[in-house]
Amino acid sequence: MHFDLKYKDSQSKARAGELHTEHGVIETPIFMPVGTAGSVKGVHQHELSEDIEAQIILGNTYHLFLRPGLDVIEPAGGLHQFINWKKPILTDSGGYQVYSLSGARKITEEGVRFQSHIDGSYHFFTPERAIDIQRSIGADIIMAFDECTPYPCDYRYAKNSMHMTHRWLKRCFNQMDRTEPRYGHTQALFPIVQGSVYDDLRKESADTIAFHDAIGNAIGGLSVGEPSEELYAMTDTVCSILPEDKPRYLMGVGTPANILECIAMGVDMFDCVMPSRNARHGMLFTSEGIINIKNKKWEKDFSPLDPNGTSYVDTTYSKAYLRHLIRAKENLAIQIATIHNLSFYLWLVKEARKHILAGTFATWKNQMIPKLNNRL
């Protein structure tokens, strides 16, 4: 696996690149739809690949470990075979999900003991176990096991947590060296920068992560409730330290405007549940702004869902029809809205890439941001 940096924007820190994996080439900047339990909710793999044009999707170690379990995924031939997905997959280590179980987990130097949200059973994740599980799942890109600190978080806790994450990282790399991929394709381990919203901690963590010279690097512990200003400040700080010739993955971010601002700071890869989760509540993202399809103003609007949209759903269905489906709690509503939102997110990063390559990214971004934040 390797990354080719193809072009750097002269007016910002935005970049266009290619991440080469054995399941295909990922053109960056890229957005990765979240398929937590081996499924992007409400979307067939065919639609993900052919209509939404996702180039890589996410799976989650914590959820897949609990259900269906490695005793199902391994004999299937790994997650690619199990879900019939031909393109690259990235798995989160499970650290964030364990963090979100704050009342049902205990963190020690050795690892994390947690209680399943499904049946209450107890499990113990160590850095070594997280790597072993991700070897069994078989994703192309696997994440280091880290502790995601909450927001707000006091300085001492953030510092101690960061240092533990760094110690865990060494154990992750050691376990990678001791084990082999199970399904014949290369797996790359991405370490994760932590440090909460403290500039000096983020710099120290970014230096430590850069030292490991991994194929790619991630920025974690953001998009957990901090103001956008903090998100941007920390992202900018870290991107100025992480090596230029490696892809940078900002975990869990964000709104369309967040994504464009962070591309301008040098981020290459993004994931977020927002396009799919918000779709289920009737929120649609478009190039002209945000639509709450539940609002009465769309009741008799028979115009296409999004005349500028790239998915078949955008011109097949009307705003009035989708509003009706959402209000009637029809499953089809979730499917249409999710396909629309994910298609829009993929369109947005493709447009960003196109403008980076053309040298017009900064101007285009400044025109787009106000529109993206507009409530229609």
pLDDT (average), residues 272-284:
97
Which part of the chain has CATH 3.20.20.105?
2-272
Which residues lie closer than 8 Å to 213 by C-beta, 6 or more apart?
243
Q: What is the rounded average pLDDT for all residues in the chain? A: 96
**Residue 98: pLDDT over 80:** no
Q: What local confidence, expressed as pLDDT, does residue 115 receive?
A: 87
Length of the chain: 376
Looking at residue 99, its pLDDT comes to: 67
CB 205 within 8 A of CB 43: no
Indicate which residue of 92, 268, 306, 314 is catalytic.
92
Our measurement of the distance from residue 363's CA atom to the centroid of its chain's CA atoms, rounded to an integer in Å, reads 26
Is the pLDDT score of 157 beyond 90?
Answer: yes
Q: How far is CA 229 from CA 1, 48, 199, 262, in A?
A: 34, 33, 13, 12
Catalytic status, residue 92: yes
Say what angle helices 256-263 and 361-372 make with each other, to 10 degrees.
160
Residue 314 among the catalytic residues = no
Which one of 51, 146, 268, 271 is the catalytic residue? 271
pLDDT digits (tens, 9 = 90+) for 179-211: 999 999 999 999 999 999 999 999 999 999 999
pLDDT confidence tier of residue 87, bands split at 50, 70 and 90: very high
Could you report the per-residue pLDDT of 320-341, keeping only the tens digit for each?
A: 999 999 999 999 999 999 999 9
Which homologous superfamily is 2-272 in?
Queuine tRNA-ribosyltransferase-like (3.20.20.105)
Model confidence at 103: pLDDT above 80: no
Q: Is the pLDDT of residue 102 over 70?
A: no
